Amino acid sequence: MARAALRTRCSKSMTKKILIATSNSGKLHDFVGAAKTHGIEIAGIPGFSSLPLVVEDGLTFEANARKKAEAYSRYAHGEIVLADDSGLEVDALGGSPGVHSARYAAPDLHNKEPHQPNANTDDDSNNARLLRELKNVPPEKRTGRFVCVLAAARDGKTLATFRGTAEGIILDAPRGENGFGYDPLFYFPQIQKTFAELSAEEKSHYSHRGAAFRKFLDWYDAHSNR
């Protein structure tokens, strides 16, 4: 019994914890799925919703990810904080919605430019705008990709960044009940499913966020053992 208790205490003490700078439950769910087999605990930053908002006004996914990671890591002294910026690039739209993916419908709903504070818009509105803009685009030209850039920071300093992508096709109607954002419209030909039709484990294997997170895990394993 004593040895079993010691093993339990040791396994708990060896659990690695990474803090994620997001209040988006969908993103947290994605990270938990990706970390599940690596012995890493994923958690949000305590009191995240009460922290000052970081305006995502960068011109690239990396710029926004670094800005968020550096800002929020100052509230978690000594801990590694991960922040991501991710979105959908559609070839027929010149790469839009891109860094404005979470705020794509802002001009219509809020009369705001997407880079302004509090400009985020709901998934249904963003998807509706995307479908309107692709209405007359034939299937063979509805190609695009999900992009995710993760930034790892500690005490206000970026340690490294990691990029992942997933190539797919934008459907003309949503499919699936899982996921969030543009997942129901993003068809992944490799497995003939949309991202909203995947389990958490499947999504961690195929998604842009899973690809970026695996690169982070490789980096983390190499640096945490030093």
Closest CA to 69 of 194, 12, 154: 154
Please list the residues that pair with 163 across neighbouring strands. Answer: 149
Q: CA–CA separation, 182 vs 123, rounded Å?
A: 7
Q: CA–CA separation, 201 vs 80, rounded Å?
A: 24
- Residue 122 falls in the annotated catalytic set: no
Among 30, 57, 84, 85, the one annotated catalytic? 85
- Name the token pair of 152: 């790892």
Three-state DSSP at 120 gives: coil
- Name the token pair of 90: 């559609």
Q: Are strands 81-90 and 186-188 parallel, antiparallel or unpaired?
A: unpaired
Which residues are CB-contacts of 65 (< 8 A; sequence separation ≥ 6)? 83, 84, 85, 149, 150, 151, 161
C-beta atoms surrounding 217 within 10 Å: 18
Q: Tokens 């209405």 map to which residue?
A: 135
**Phi-psi sector, 147: left (phi>0), alpha (psi -120 to 50), beta:** beta
Q: Are 147 and 103 in contact (CB under 8 A)?
A: no
Instruction: Give catalytic residues, as residue numbers.
Output: 85
